[in-house]
Structure 1
Amino acid sequence: MKPTGGDVAEFVAAVTPDKRRRDAETLIELLGGITGLEPALWGTIIGFGSCHYRYPTGTEGDMPIAAFAPRKASSTVYLLEGAEPHAADLALLGPHTVSRGCLYLNDLATIDLSVLRRIIERSYALAVADEIPGMTITTA
């Protein structure tokens, strides 16, 4: 995966429904504040920073260090270390669903944003420190 060079503001302006666009604007502010980085488009993913990852199997690639995607059904926040390390915070977050490395949020107005901030801060810190089990991460 590589940054596509698209205009983030233009992309967000076209996001529907309105609730998802509002959430995308909030997530850009949140992730930008946590990382200190500017957002970049990686296709339809809004990412902050970049890293190269390698699994013990030899699979490797590039991806943003912190990222989310405003999808029609929900906003997807990507957690490189997976959702499991955040179980205690996820219990306090509010309405959400998870898969292995994704946190799905239907409406940021219904969750505790301070808990979401903690989750993303921890995820970002783990990635930058290359402390994600089963992965080697080199930040750019």
Structure 2
Amino acid sequence: MPEQKTKPTDVSVKAFLDAVPDERKRRDAYAILELMEKTTGYPPVMWGPSIVGFGSYHYKYDSGHEGDAPLAGFSPRKDALTLYVMPGGDEREKLLPKLGKHKASKACIYIKKLEDVDVSVLKELIVYCVNFMKAKYPD
């Protein structure tokens, strides 16, 4: 079984965010950092070189593959702010249309700038998805 690539590191979250070259994206990343830390109740930790994660869960698939992942997280990528807000039940799908301007995949939400979305809906999504993942993968 190959070793998991994305895992917690001792890299400073502040140093990582301070290095984001685009000022608006850096400012939005700090706002998301504060929002996710307050909403999840977990401190931020760098997962791999580019994901700021909050909390964690351990998964194990039927195939035998297992590992750890953050309950929620984000990364200020070049094209968009990538929010790792995992899928879970129908509530996520009900909240996404209320979020504002974004794109979504199964496990990620992509936003260009924080002002394009309703932060209160984003907070609801984070709370719902973290609770869903904690229930699905209890410690």
| Alignment pair present for 1:74 and 2:80 | yes
Q: For each residue in 1:22-46, what CA deviation from the matched residue of structure 2 results, as whole angstroms up to 9, or x when unmatched?
A: 1110111111111111101012100
Residue 51 of structure 2 corresponds to which residue in structure 1?
45
Match of 1:122 in 2: 128
> In the alignment, residue 38 of structure 1 is paired with which amino acid?
P
Q: Do the aligned residues in 1 keep the contact of 2:88 with 2:132 (CA within 8 Å)?
A: no
SS of equivalent to 2:115:
helix
**What TM-score do the two structures reach when normalised by structure 1?**
0.87
Structure 1 distance, partners of 2:103, 2:35, is 20
Q: Which amino acid aligns with 2:38?
A: G
Matched, 1:34 2:61: no
Change (3 A) 1:83 1:126: closer
Percent identical residues: 40
- 2:28 is matched with 23
Q: How far is 1:85 from its partner?
A: 4.4
User: How far apart, CA to CA, are the structure 1 residues paired with 2:75 and 2:90?
Assistant: 20
Equivalent residue number for residue 134 of structure 1: none
Aligned to 1:14: 19
Gaps of 5+ in 2: 1-5
* TM-score with structure 2 setting the length: 0.88
The SS at the match of 2:79 is: coil
Match of 2:119 in 1: 113
Report the RMSD for the aligned CA atoms in angstroms.
1.7
Q: Provide the aligned length of Structure 1 versus Structure 2.
A: 133
Moved more, 84-93 or 2-11: 84-93
1:37 alignment partner AA: Y
What are structure 1's unaligned runs of at least 5 residues?
131-136
User: 1:31–1:61: structure 2 CA closer, same or farther, 3 Å change rule?
Assistant: same
C-alpha separation in 2, matches of 1:82 and 1:26: 24
Change (3 A) 1:18 1:83: farther
1:85-104 residue CA offsets vs partner (Å, 9 max, x unmatched)? 42221111111001111100
Distance 1:53 1:97, change over 3 A: same
Residues 42-97 of structure 1, C-alpha deviations (whole Å, 9 max, x = no match): 12100011211112332211111111111011111112226964222111111100
